[in-house]
Structure 1
Amino acid sequence: MPHGADRLTIEGEPAAPALPPGNGHAQRSAATRLRLIEAAIDCLYRTGYGATTTVAIAQTAGVSRGAMLHQFPTRADLIIAVAEHIVREQDLRRRQILRAVPRGVERFRAITAAVWDTMKEPASMALLEIMLGSRSDPELSARFPAVMRGAEARLASGPIEVARDIGFEQDDLIHAMSRLHLAAMRGLAIERLFQTDEGRVDDAFELLTWYKDQFLLRLSEAT
């Protein structure tokens, strides 16, 4: 891909849900939907998947159960909407961070920190709760993997495109590095929930960035 070409994963802008026209019922409905999604994220983060009932979500959002069922007929419908919202917002946030970093080696190194910035947020913990909860929810387990496949495909393609900017063509190695780092950061995000000394988590992340520098050096020597 030419150095100056726009990137799907970093330089481009993902399509966000269009705001309904006008100021009437459609916009009120969209606002209610967003309140429910944000309330679900809050509940998932504070109390976990098992305790995030539709009743708890409606109470947190200040929305009647009937209004909630109008937006999301089933709990799975709501949880899938939450997951889609989170991955879309995380994608936007990472793009914004990385667009401010010069292309080349500096941007390649910055990808890890950009992902970690979003991984530490409550929404990421909510998404992890959904990932784990989907294992025991047949309806959710049938629909949730498609959401994550799309999210992880974007997470994998970004480093590959940036690596090609600096002349690295070892796509399989870059993909393996991305998967390893993503798994490590998910683990560190969970660790932050139980670790009273967050400095230890920060130290572990610094080690992860050191490994990436060593990986970058090895690729440079092999090119």
Structure 2
Amino acid sequence: MNSTPLRIIEAARSCLLADGYAALSTRRVAEVAGVPLSQIHYHFRGKQGVIVALLDHENRQLLTRQREMYGSDTPLWQRYEQACDFLEDDLASGYVRVLQEMIAAGWSDADLAARVLTLLQSWFEVLNEVAREAEERFGSLGPVRPADLAMLIGLSFLGGEAVILLGDEGWNARVRSALRSVGAVIRRFEESA
């Protein structure tokens, strides 16, 4: 990606984290990026385009990280714990906030919702691969199909992220504990197999 679109994406990220999607102004993004407003419209066609490009840009980087981690030979429970650690990184980087802002904006914009769901699908594909690996290694997962298990885990993270962003420390601790407890279940299952 050449420098102007990347500068715009980085400026949009900064503005989104500071102001949220509803208050995001392309004029402000252009100002922070140090480019004329016309450059945002030229490269991204407006506010929604630049934010989807931002989400896509960060999403690709994080998916590469997840695929490398899940592609390792370490036990599944350790990979799951690493995914929980990555959640902390993603919260700190602002990625989770960007994603959740786009999900919320998609509630009233069908085109944006479709684009966000396409990005989310790539995460669920990674989880499906891991769930299929678990089934291949350990046999039946009981009454739960691998695709359903992947969906449940992915949705647990998405819902947990939304609650964490609300900022209540008690709820944050409960969410983090619940997500981590799944790793203990995976470990028990894996070690007994």
TM range (shorter): 0.7 to 0.9
- Which runs of 5 or more structure 2 residues have no equivalent in the other structure? none
* Aligned equivalent of 2:11, options 39, 44, 49: 39
Matched residue type, 1:78:
V
- Count of matched residue pairs: 188
2:119 equivalent to 1:147: yes
2:174 equivalent to 1:174: no
Q: Which residue of 1 aligns with 2:160?
A: 185
Q: More relative contact order in 1 or in 2 (CA 8 Å, sep 6+)?
A: 1
Matched residue type, 2:165:
I
Superposed displacement of residue 54, structure 1:
1.1
CA contact (8 A) 2:17 2:98 kept: yes
Superposed displacement of residue 103, structure 1:
2.1
Same amino acid, percent of matched pairs: 19
Give the root-mean-square deviation of aligned CA atoms: 3.0
- Which runs of 5 or more structure 1 residues have no equivalent in the other structure? 1-18, 20-29
Q: Which residue of 1 aligns with 2:177?
A: 206
Return the alpha-carbon distance in structure 2 between the equivalents of residues 57 and 118 of structure 1: 25
Return the alpha-carbon distance in structure 1 between the equivalents of residues 68 and 98 of structure 2: 22
Return the alpha-carbon distance in structure 2 between the equivalents of residues 165 and 104 of structure 1: 14
TM-score by length of 2: 0.77
Report which of the two has the higher share of helix: 2
* Aligned equivalent of 2:100, options 103, 125, 128: 128
2:48 equivalent to 1:76: yes
Superposed displacement of residue 173, structure 1:
5.7
Where 2:107 maps in the other structure, the secondary structure is helix
Where 1:136 maps in the other structure, the secondary structure is coil
Matched residue type, 1:163:
A
Residues 40-59 of structure 1: pairs in structure 2 closer than 5 A: 40-59=12-31
Structure 1, residues 21-46: CA drift from partner, whole Å, max 9, x if none? xxxxxxxxx11101111111222222
Matched residue type, 1:35:
R
Deviates more, 1:54-63 or 1:88-97: 88-97
